[in-house]
Amino acid sequence: MFKKILIANRGEIALRVIRTCKEMGIKTVAVYSKADTESLHVRFADEAVCIGPAPSSESYLKMANIIAAAEITNADAIHPGYGFLSENAKFSKLCEEHDIKFIGATAEMIDKMGDKASAKATMIAAGVPCIPGSEGILDTYEETETLAVEMGFPVMLKATAGGGGKGMRAVWKKEDLKDAWDSARMEAKAAFGNDGMYMEKLIEEPRHIEIQVVGDSYGKACHLSERDCSIQRRHQKLTEETPSPFMTDALRNAMGEAAVKAAEYIKYEGAGTVEFLVDKHRNFYFMEMNTRIQVEHPITEEVVDYDLIREQILVAAGVPISGKNYMPQLHSIECRINAEDPHNGFRPAPGKITSYHAPGGHGVRVDTHVYTVHDSTKLRFYDF
């Protein structure tokens, strides 16, 4: 088992990892930017290393600084949390080269599933249902138009390196296709440095349902049932729920089997999420796979009594999984609290928090890194 884990993140996910490490008797190292000196994860970790100035590009995304922090503290593993470097194949490989265990997917797995076009091709080969669409990246607009006419409208254009709804366009008629193609490529290029596009048949009245999976280093995977993430704004999740009110026992078993098949096909190691679109007739189609722990992992933990962070650590240490699937025994909903300005495109607008009192009581769980500073009326808040 690991003796010391460095958490390459901040905010509530860093606190979440520290909590499980303490329960397991594992020492922790926090990394922080100069702006986060008083953050809770810095206070609660056994050791802390400043890795740079406030901008993430100069601190939490600075791979060399994080590796150096792990080496000077003799950490034998790094937990990346979510966001930042959690799905960065180069960082996973860099950890391996420095004999530091990356608690997450290998570089090969991240590469295989990180690009949406290659992920879809992989899942087709695995026999997992996929949305009808292009076979890989579309090279020209002419090719795109021909395929769209063959499939029939509506269609969905997607950036192959996309995420968060960027580089996506729903197109309902042929006359709008060219403008959608041009604008989606421009947006994708600006956001990801990659304007590669692919296209799928648009699923009408869709549900966004994801299956939590865990795989070990021996080729075995299991699932922990579903999370319904259908309530979104601009392709960003607002609430998640498990079990899904749309789900049936037959559909849960079928989707669970497909998710396990996907994980075992790529010999996936660690906690991951296989995301599906489900139409109104309960036909489901692979959408993407997230090769990391998810923001919404707490609701799965609450309904199956299972610590996913602990399992990540055990799997990374070479411990085999039980192999059994887990079904929800309770019901849980997660709400994301977003401080935004609704009059200006819902842009981030946290302002100043002057008081904070977390809700509590039976069945209430709050994952946060907001806290009250006891020696003043001010409140510290660190965005992630």
Q: Is residue 195 part of a domain?
A: yes
Give me the average pLDDT of each 10-residue run along the chain (384 residues): 98 97 98 95 97 96 98 98 95 98 95 85 94 89 96 93 85 96 94 92 93 97 98 89 97 98 96 95 94 96 96 98 94 92 86 84 91 58 40
Candidate list 292, 310, 336, 380, residue with the active-site label: 292
Residue 381 lies in a domain: no
The last residue of one of the domains, among 176, 201, 226, is 201
Span between the terminal Cα atoms of the chain, in Å: 29
Q: Is 292 considered catalytic here?
A: yes
Distance CA 39, CA 383 (A): 10
Are 296 and 232 within one domain?
A: yes
Which CATH number characterizes residue 319's domain?
3.30.470.20
What pLDDT does 381 receive? 43
Take residue 108 and report the two structure tokens written for it.
């090969």
Write the Ramachandran bin of 302: left for phi over 0, alpha for psi from -120 to 50, otherwise beta: alpha
- Give a yes or no: residue 149 inside a domain: yes
- The total of other beta-carbon atoms located within 10 Å of residue 149's CB is 12
Residue 117 lies in a domain: no
Residues 197 and 231 grouped into a single domain: no
Q: How many domains does the chain have?
A: 3
Q: Is residue 366 part of a domain?
A: no
Q: Does 226 lie in the same domain as 272?
A: yes
* CA nearest to 170, candidates 158, 156, 190, 183: 156
Q: Which of 149, 183, 201 is the last residue of a domain?
A: 201
Residues 6 or more apart in contact with residue 282 via CB below 8 angstroms:
246, 248, 251
Whether residues 223 and 158 fall in one domain:
no
CATH label of the domain that carries residue 164: 3.30.1490.20
Do 331 and 231 sit in the same domain of this protein? yes
User: Which residue, 84, 104, 124, sits at the end of a domain?
Assistant: 104
Domain-located, residue 119: no
Indicate whether 314 belongs to any domain.
yes
Q: Which domain holds residue 223?
A: 207-335
Same domain, 13 and 46: yes
Q: Which two tokens stand for residue 312?
A: 């990540």
DSSP string for 144-200: HHHHHHHH-S-EEEEETT--TTTT-EEE-SGGGHHHHHHHHHHHHHHHHS---EEEE
Same domain, 196 and 212: no
- 176 with 214, same domain: the answer is no
Q: Do 211 and 326 reside in the same domain of the chain? A: yes
Whether residues 25 and 90 share a domain: the answer is yes
Q: Are residues 71 and 87 in the same domain?
A: yes
- Summarised one tens digit per residue, pLDDT across range 174-232 is 999 999 999 999 999 998 889 999 999 999 889 999 999 999 999 999 999 999 999 99
313 assigned to some structural domain: yes
Report CA torsion sign: 114, 117, 118, 124: positive
Q: What is the pLDDT of residue 374?
A: 62
Pairing of strands 197-201, 239-242: unpaired
- pLDDT of res. 342: 86
Closest CA to 215 of 88, 329, 314: 314
Which CATH number does the domain housing residue 83 bear? 3.40.50.20
Indicate if 265 and 168 belong to the same structural domain: no
pLDDT tens digits, one per residue of 17-67: 999 999 999 999 999 999 999 999 999 999 999 999 999 999 999 999 999
